Amino acid sequence: MTPELVIVGRAGIGVDNIDIDAATDHGVVVANAPKGNVRAAAEHTVAMTFATARSIPQAHDRLKAGEWAKGDYLGTELDGKTLGVVGLGRVGQEVAKKLDSLGMELLAYDPYISEERADRLNAELVALEDCLAKADVLTVHVPLTDETAGLIADDELALLDGGYLINCARGGVVDEAALAAAVEDGTLAGAAIDVFAEEPLPADSPLLAVEDIVVTPHLGASTRAAQENV
């Protein structure tokens, strides 16, 4: 760390890619922009939810390749289904609002949010296990910390039986190998992932070998408005 360094600014929410301890030891201020890309991240989460529930990328690829695979895809409507939100912070709240308007029932797991706040969002606060067991679609909106690393792995994915998992928050929260296996063996109907434990995503990632997993290269904040805001 150079002696001239005074501040590290993060153009986004998470600071897990900054060595906070080293910054503290050297008296360097670490600042982020927690509100600038909230809307963009929430909208990408909704887009990824539709993409996996309706197999949009897969159908697109086959049609571009000359196949009319109309009979091969039977999608899932979101209206009347249950949304589980893991992490009811800024982005999680925006996602809850948007998907609530589509007629989804809302459950949320967040040990730091009050029931009153959840009630205002029309969401029921539940334990993580209940959130997983009752959700048809689970979206993840937590930072990567010691507490959340590997939060959703084999046992948790088994509870989400038949559902979809969407992660546009941080890589490392969901066990990628376990997720790939759960979708491949039919435990989950599908998944959509925008963030990864290692970025860029390695070519040998198990996520890339499963057709029903939609992946994007960390595009959650990639809108003109979001970049200007942060």
Catalytic residue among 4, 170, 184, 224: 170
Instruction: Give the DSSP H/E element, type plus range, for residue 93.
Output: helix 90-100
Any catalytic annotation for residue 170? yes
DSSP state of 209: G
Q: Is 218 a catalytic residue?
A: yes
The active-site residue out of 39, 44, 141, 218 is: 218
26 catalytically annotated: no
SS3 121: coil
> CB of 83 within 8 A of CB of 96?
yes
Q: Which of 67, 77, 199, 211 is catalytic?
A: 199
Both tokens of residue 75? 């999608």
CA atoms within a 13 Å half-sphere pointing along the CA-CB vector of 61: 8
Q: How many other C-beta atoms lie within 10 A of the C-beta of residue 27? A: 8
Question: Could you give the residue numbers annotated as active site?
Answer: 170, 199, 218
